[in-house]
Amino acid sequence: MRSAPEDLTARSRIRDAAIELFGRDGFSATTVRSIAKASNTSPALLLHHFVSKDGLRTHCDGYVVETIRDLKREGVISASQTELIAQLSAIPELQPLVWYLRRALQDGGPAAAEFFDQLVADAVIYMEEGVATGRLRPTRDPKMRALMLTTMAFGPILLGEHIGRHLGTDGYDADAQRRALPVMLEIFTDGVFADRDLIDSLQAQLKEDQS
């Protein structure tokens, strides 16, 4: 049975309000009543659409993941996980997604685990496409590379307060991102180690450990 158009509009308003409040105040502190008030609906209508606050959170998780996936497909943001947070933060209307991502990973739990796993799985696919087109180098372990780059992408948002202390910025804000991105590009294109003997020694040690 299809919902009436006005119900779909209300459902979207509830979802958008929940994403903003969950991200700003946390899942535990946000109530069904506060979401209903922010979305100009009612607690009863929220429960009609999503059954419970947990059900709404699960829906929001899926929506945020799918939104990021669509933005990558459309070329609004690049497929690079290392630039994900910086690019989302640069688009004002997507700021609630950034808050939501941060809070989801901080709070943990089954929903956050599923959420993170989906991002890693998506990263594997995007990077395979990059290798196929020649934009990315191949790797001996695609899953591990996707996992590490996804983790690095969320480092700045989880540690934004500490980054801001060092840079004199408001967390990992636009100024911090402008300063960070050239260095990140340098790291990923030129590397860090200059001592060839050190690199060969580390690679030899890795081979020995894996044999």
Give the pLDDT confidence of 53-75 residue by residue, as tens digits. Answer: 999 999 998 888 888 878 877 77
Average pLDDT over every residue of 7-31: 90
Three-state secondary-structure class, residue 185: helix
Average pLDDT over every residue of 116-121: 84
Closest-CA residue to 135 (of 197, 80, 203) = 80
User: When comparing pLDDT for 103 and 3, which is higher?
Assistant: 103
Closest-CA residue to 12 (of 34, 33, 40, 32) = 40
pLDDT, position 3: 45
35 within 8 A of 23, measured Cβ to Cβ: no
pLDDT, position 78: 67
Average pLDDT over every residue of 79-104: 76
pLDDT, position 51: 96
Q: What is the pTM of this model?
A: 0.67
Closest-CA residue to 159 (of 88, 105, 79, 111) = 105
User: When comparing pLDDT for 44 and 115, which is higher?
Assistant: 44
Cβ count within 10 A of residue 29: 10
Q: Is the dihedral of CA 111, 114, 116, 118 positive or negative?
A: negative
